[in-house]
Each structure stands twice: as C-alpha cells, then as structure tokens.
Amino acid sequence: MIYLDNAASSHPKPASVLRAVARQIEGNGANPGRSGHNLAMKASQTVFSARKTLAKSFGTDPEIVIFTANTTDAINRALKGILKQGDHVVISDLEHNSVLRPLVALKERGIITFDVAKTERDDGKTLSNFSKCIRSETKLVFCTHASNVTGQILPIHDIGDLCRKMGILFGVDGAQTAGTESYDLQKDPIDLICVPGHKGLLGPQGTGALILSSAFRITPLFEGGTGSDSLSEHQPLTYPEGYESGTLNTPGIAGMEQGVLYTDRHKDEIRAREATLKAIFLEELKKLSAFRILGDTKNSVATVSLVHPRDHSEKIAEWLNRCGICTRGGYHCSALAHRALNTVESGAVRISFGYRNTVKEAVECVKCLKKYQKYFG
Amino acid sequence: MKTKCIGVRSVTYAQKAQDVLNRYGIKSSVTKRSGATTGCGWCVRVAYTQSETAYALLKNSGVKVTGETYDLS
C-alpha cells in the first residue's frame, strides 16, 4: 500500500516512537501523579520529560503544556474554557469542524456569537477580512495555521500581531502544521496552540496538547481527580493537573515525546522532502485535464486536494484504493472549507504526503489518476 | 539524614522544582507530602541544611511553595 493520508494521521511512525510506547506498556503500568511509589514516580518522570520536550519545541514552560487526547479535545478545552457569556469570536472560512461545531454549540446555547473571515490567496486581503470581523466584544480570534483540505497556510503571524494590538486572545489550530512548521510562543504573537500528537509530530493516536504561551486563566472543561488537594470538593486551578483530570495516556505521551524529538531533529529535511513530493505530484497532475486542483498550492503544506467535474470524490478515492493508494475522499470534517471552495456537491480527494513517502509513490498516484481519466473521462 | 519537605502545588511543580535545584547543585527528590491539610499533595525533599537556600531558589524561580514545610527524618 502507498499511504498518502498523512493529514488524517501519519504513518508509519519512527521506530523510537514504537519503542517508547512498548517500553511504557511493558515496563511500567503505574499511574503518573497519583501514588508515591517508585514506579509511579518513574511514570511521572516520563510525563514530565514529555512536557519539557514539548515546551522546548514550542517555546513555552512545561507546566502550561496540557496533554489531551487529540486536537479536537484541545480546541474544546480552549474554546469552552476561555469563552464566557457575551463574548464574540472570529474564525476563518477554512476551519475544521473541531472549531466550528463547539462554536455553533456555544452560539445555540446563547453564550457567544462568532463571525467567519474569508480567506484569500493574498495574505493582505485575508488579514483585512479578519480585521473587518473584529468587534468591541471580540474575545478571541482562532484559526487554523493550514487548511486540512487545501493545505493553504494562513498568515497567522500577521493575524496574531493584529490581535496583540487590539488586546484580543489569539489561538491557532496546528493540526496540519505541528511537526513541519516552527513555533516559539515566547516570540510569536500566539496565546495558545492546539496540536495533535499523531499527525506531523509522528506520535501515536490518542495524543495531543493544548499549549499556552503564559499561565492565563481558563476554566477547566472537566473536573475530577488531579492527584492533588484531594480533600477539596473544588477543582484545583493549577496548571497542568487542574486541566488534565483523570489518568493520562502515559504510553501515548511517551511516544509523542519521541515523535517531537524526531521531528525537531529532522524538521528541515522533512519539510524539504514533503515540498519536493508535492511539487512533483502537482507537475504530473497538471498534465491530466480531468481534475481540478483546489486552493493555493504555492503557499501550502504538503496536502493537495482535487475534484472531478462530474464524479464524486469518494468514487475517485475508492479507485485509488484499488490501486493500493490510501487517500481521503469526502469532506474532511470541514463543512466551512468545502462551502468556501464550492465543493459541497463533490467533496474532494485529498492527497497528503508524509516524511516517508517517495517520488515513486507520488508518481504512482498520478498514474492511477491517469487510468481513471482514461476509463471514466 | 534529616530532611525537609518543601510543599508545592502539584507533581509537575515538584519536578520543576527538582530541575531548578539540580541546576544549583542541590540534591532533591520528589515525594508525596504527608500531613497536608487538603489531601494528596507533593513536595520536593532536600537536606535540612540546604532547605533555606532551596526555598529561596524556588521563590526566585517562580515555583510557588504552598503552605508549610514539613520536617522529616
């Protein structure tokens, strides 16, 4: 099989990730941050080591790295922890449902309002559109760093600078960029970023993090056991434990740490490789007249989406699967993006490259699409 | 050896405190705190003779010390 669905979850993982997960499961099943015995303390050290690694990678402090189950989990904790009655939010028209749905739910409960800023190929126009959506009651601007449909990269530093000037919190969905783009939350105008462990960071599924630039107060989404202040009926508002109630995914976190170490060591190499694969794929794909490529492919991560003028994307994804190529058809949990791209009828076939893909695999994918064009037009 | 247990807010802060003290050459260990009035708690245990220095270093490093410190031997 040729795996070109790395925007959904990266595959395969580095050997160091597999070893770390196995080592934790085989060697230490103790609960971190609960008991005081040696194995529990060792588990706590594993978690703290991962916190420090993520903190170093993202330019922040370890205690404000909050481990989550995935990006959606992190985004929900951020949005529902920050937003209060009467607040207004601005998002982009390329947001994933992990951003849109919590906001719609909060809006339908009468808690918040939000506006959607149109994204353009021109970053200046995108910034202007965000600026026009901001109101006096805007508490938060939240947007993806790169679309999970087209791969288009948004000008998050410009948007963040705008937010800083206006005293508005700025949050970033790093689902498609963590691992390939660099962040420094002490320097970048970003107040929080939500990342998956299992995509570009090459860790296991079931991992993610909400990473803050400073210990500003948010309301925990969950209450429960934290391993501290146990006799109190109230949730301790201490970072990070007060925001991580319940037992952590220690094997996953151990694996995620190794993924972060791997991507930090190989970031330039990974980015260059993926960019080359995307360029070769696009060059070959443009020779096929049956398919239209979506979005801005110049300023984008290594994700390409295409549509056929007549056929639904799932039919093409199924065809690719028959060639032994894993891609994703449909709507990619991004209703907003598909409405903005006018692809609600067809969805899109998304091809997303990863650090282990080869030129031969990219060319094989185009060859399979060429066969599709030959048979179906 | 007589030790002192310096209470902090969580196991993460205890580990952070340990890192701070390590940087200044003060040996410490992270343990659960005994005698806490609010239930489970955490502390960083140091030699009694170094406890005042440790306390000052933690304060300067932004690690909040909670409640009492506990003498254990």
- Give B35's pLDDT tier (boundaries 50, 70, 90): low
Q: How far is B53 from chain A (nearest CA, A)?
A: 23
Q: For residues A68 and A82, is the Cβ–Cβ distance under 8 A?
A: no
Taking 80 as the threshold, does the pLDDT of residue A86 lie above it?
yes
Q: What is the overall mean pLDDT for chain B?
A: 88
Of A105, A187, A205, A199, the closest CA to residue A144 belongs to A199
Provide the residue ranges of all domains of chain A, joining segments of one domain with +.
2-9+267-372, 15-262
Mutation choice for A interface testing from B8, B15, B30, B64 by most A CBs within 10 A? B15
CATH for A15-262 is: 3.40.640.10
Q: For residues A90 and A115, is the Cβ–Cβ distance under 8 A?
A: yes
What is the predicted pLDDT for the residue at A64?
A: 98
B37, closest residue in chain A (CA to CA): A231
pLDDT tens digits for range A126-165: 999 999 999 999 999 999 999 999 999 999 999 999 999 9
Contacts for A173 with CB less than 8 Å, ≥ 6 apart: A71, A75, A95, A96, A98, A99, A142, A143, A144, A145, A193, A194
Looking at residues A251-263, what average pLDDT do you find? 98
Least confident of A66-75, A360-369, B3-12: B3-12
Nearest 10 degrees: CA dihedral of A99, A210, A144, A112?
A: 40
Q: Which of residues 59-88 of A touch B (CB under 8 A)?
A: 62-63
- Give A324's pLDDT tier (boundaries 50, 70, 90): very high
pTM above 0.80, yes or no: yes
Complex-level ipTM: 0.88
Higher per-residue pLDDT: A217 or A78: A78
Taking 90 as the threshold, does the pLDDT of residue A314 lie above it?
yes
Residue B72 CB: number of other CB atoms within 10 A?
14
The alpha helices in A109-230, defined as continuous H runs, are 123-133, 156-166
What is the predicted pLDDT for the residue at B2?
A: 87
What is the predicted pLDDT for the residue at A297?
A: 84
What is the predicted pLDDT for the residue at A258?
A: 98
- Give A206's pLDDT tier (boundaries 50, 70, 90): very high
> Strand A138-144 relative to strand A113-117: parallel, antiparallel, unpaired?
unpaired
Looking at residues A205-217, what average pLDDT do you find? 96
What is the predicted pLDDT for the residue at B71?
A: 66
Of A355, A371, A353, A342, the closest CA to residue A93 belongs to A342
Pick the CATH number of A2-9+267-372 from 1.10.630.10, 3.30.540.10, 1.10.3720.10, 3.90.1150.10: 3.90.1150.10
A238, closest residue in chain B (CA to CA): B9
pLDDT tens digits for range A342-361: 999 999 999 999 999 999 99
A243, closest residue in chain B (CA to CA): B10
B7, closest residue in chain A (CA to CA): A228
pLDDT tens digits for range A3-49: 999 999 999 999 999 999 999 999 999 999 999 999 999 999 999 99
A vs B, Cβ pairs < 8 A, gives 61
Question: In this prediction, what percent of chain A has a pLDDT beyond 90?
Answer: 97
Q: Say if A241 is an interface residue toward chain B (CB within 8 Å).
A: yes
A63 closest CB neighbour out of B13, B38, B41: B13
What is the predicted pLDDT for the residue at B73?
A: 53
Taking 80 as the threshold, does the pLDDT of residue B67 lie above it?
no
> Strand A2-3 relative to strand A325-326: parallel, antiparallel, unpaired?
parallel
Q: Say if A238 is an interface residue toward chain B (CB within 8 Å).
A: yes
B42 contacts on A by Cβ (under 8 Å): 227-228
CA dist., res. B4 & res. B50, Å (int): 9
What is the predicted pLDDT for the residue at B1?
A: 79
**Which fold does the domain B3-72 belong to in CATH?**
Alpha-Beta Plaits (3.30.70)
C-alpha distances (whole Å) from A221 to each of A1, A80, A83, A103, A173 are 40, 7, 11, 15, 18
- Give B70's pLDDT tier (boundaries 50, 70, 90): low
A230, closest residue in chain B (CA to CA): B39
What is the predicted pLDDT for the residue at B39?
A: 79
Least confident of A44-53, A229-238, A355-364: A229-238
B19 contacts on A by Cβ (under 8 Å): 52
**Cβ separation A36–B41 shorter than 8 A:** no
Provide the residue ranges of all domains of chain B, joining segments of one domain with +.
3-72
B12 closest CB neighbour out of A41, A231, A241: A241
What is the predicted pLDDT for the residue at B33?
A: 82
Taking 70 as the threshold, does the pLDDT of residue B68 lie above it?
no
Handedness of CA A331, A335, A338, A339 (dihedral sign): positive
Taking 60 as the threshold, does the pLDDT of residue A331 lie above it?
yes
CA dist., res. A45 & res. A38, Å (int): 10
Q: Which residues of B touch A (CB under 8 A)?
A: 9-13, 15-16, 19, 30-32, 37-42
**Cβ separation A240–B10 shorter than 8 A:** yes
Q: Say if A51 is an interface residue toward chain B (CB within 8 Å).
A: yes
- Give A296's pLDDT tier (boundaries 50, 70, 90): confident
B7 contacts on A by Cβ (under 8 Å): none
